[in-house]
Amino acid sequence: TITATAELTWGLLLCLSRKIPMAVRHVNNFKWDRNEFYGMELNGKTLGVIGYGRLGELIAEYGNIFKMKILIHEKNNELHNNNFAFVEIEELLKNSDIITIHINSSEKNKNFIDEKKFSFMKRKSILINTSRGDIIDEEVLIKKLESGYIAGAAMDVLQDEYSDDKNWIKHNKLINYARNNSNLLITPHIGGVTNDSTNKTNDFIIDKI
């Protein structure tokens, strides 16, 4: 599922940077005005990768192919790659045009992207989270989206997705915001859900048995 999640992350990144979902919806409403959809070219922009495990490493490589400058924040100081710069979190947030999150859910990482870290972010940056929902303070995220402080965000995970409340999705503030605003994209935790990844998982389990 690592490759599948990395590919979804990059797909969400492209959707936001080029306003693809909004442009498709525009055409489906029988309109044809490209002037409404000026986007961001990735070439030459700075990609900030938080977490340099197998997923973060793939995303950094994708960014390198798109000729982006790559900044990485990783708690393991022994990791290195000559193509990328390993930096402290504040430097990454201040200088990245696009930020992707690839760290584990833990008590330490709960609300890792909080009010303080949001304040360090470059204005009009884009935030992508395909890791775990509790890593981002969702209340602050909404405020930053509403004010236009960040240009957009895309989530494949939410804090409430494992709630016992059967109606949680109707009450979730991020989903309700996304229904009326184009700068937030949310997918239903589909990162690892592909035919290929499912077949690989099944084959792995069969081989083990």
Is 189 a catalytic site residue?
Answer: yes
Catalytic residue of the set 7, 61, 91, 161: 161
SS3 28: helix
Q: Is the dihedral of CA 30, 32, 38, 44 positive or negative?
A: positive
CA 58/CA 3 separation, integer angstroms: 8
SS3 182: coil
Catalytic residue of the set 73, 102, 132, 138: 132
CA 191/CA 151 separation, integer angstroms: 22
Could you tell me the end-to-end alpha-carbon distance of the chain, in angstroms, rounded to an integer? 20
Is 26 a catalytic site residue?
Answer: no
Q: Which of 131, 117, 133, 112 is nearest to 59 (CA)?
A: 131
Phi, psi of 47 (to 5 degrees): -105, 125
Catalytic residue of the set 73, 74, 138, 189: 189
Angle at 28 between CA 22 and CA 34, to 5 degrees: 55
Is 74 a catalytic site residue?
Answer: no
Q: Which of 3, 48, 41 is nearest to 19 (CA)?
A: 41
Which are the catalytic amino acids?
132, 161, 189
